[in-house]
Amino acid sequence: MRLKDERKAIVEYGKKMITANLTTGSGGNLSVYNRAENLVAIKPSGVDYFEMKPADVVVVSLDGQIVEGDLQPSSEIRFHLALLQHRQDINAVVHTHQVYATTIACMNWELPAVHYLVGFSGNKVPLAKYATFGSQELSDEILAAIGSYNACLMANHGIVTVGKDIGSAFATAEELELVSRLYYQAKCIGEPVILSDKEMETIGEKFQTYGQRK
């Protein structure tokens, strides 16, 4: 089986998306890029995360051709492949419909630095303009908005996060759901105080040395 480890990771993190309340049903999607083989493992379209098996995960080339797998790849394959080709540091893409981040996206707002954990994305989470799911237009809007950030809100749709591996992309989605909830709750009370770009630059530097270093 091609990309065995990557396909197993899609199954594992797909279940985590449900248990972490980042999506519902078969919504959202994930992909992992194996640069050595120049192939991508991506969730099949419309398959329940708890019924999905590694063999169900589709392996595609960067131009979207199916290399291995009997099912159709995610309807959002366009923006997955575009993001994986956009930057050399992106090896995984996670797209969810998590409630609080999607609430902010439905307001057509960016997510500002209301809490330092927005640093998982950068100094904010930018917003991509609305376009129909699965369309080339949506892929173009996401690519235009995300730039060097690790996340992008999708207007009236959800959020997409990227990372060096699927674990980091997933962690970014989780942390930004917390920040989105804090922003929502703060807006219910009044106008939240936003951290400065200078402070977020400091946060970004500190994030580089956070945790256990090998």
CB-based contact 105:174 (threshold 8 Å): no
Which tens digits make up the pLDDT trace of 34-74? Answer: 999 999 999 999 999 999 999 999 999 999 999 999 999 99
pLDDT attached to residue 213: 60
Q: Which of 6, 76, 141, 175 is catalytic?
A: 76
Sheet with 151-154, strands from edge to edge, namely: 66-68, 58-61, 39-42, 29-34, 92-96, 158-163, 151-154, 127-128
Residue 94 has pLDDT above 70, yes or no: yes
pLDDT attached to residue 208: 84
Active site residue 174: no
**Angle separating helix axes 166-189 and 99-106, nearest 10 degrees:** 60
Element (H, E) at 93: strand 92-96
Q: For the residues 165-174, what does the mean pLDDT come to?
A: 98
Residues 97 and 113: their CA atoms lie apart, in Å, by 21
Domains and CATH numbers, the chain: 4-207 (3.40.225.10)
What's 26-87 look like in SS3?
A: CCCEEEEEECCCCEEEECECCCCCCCCCHHHCEEEECCCCEEECCCCECCCHHHHHHHHHHC
Q: Which of 86, 103, 84 is nearest to 176 (CA)?
A: 103
% of the chain with per-residue pLDDT over 70: 98
Residues 7 and 71: their CA atoms lie apart, in Å, by 13
pLDDT band at 80 (very low <50, low <70, confident <90, very high): very high
pLDDT band at 211 (very low <50, low <70, confident <90, very high): low
pTM, two decimals, is 0.95
Residue 214 has pLDDT above 90, yes or no: no
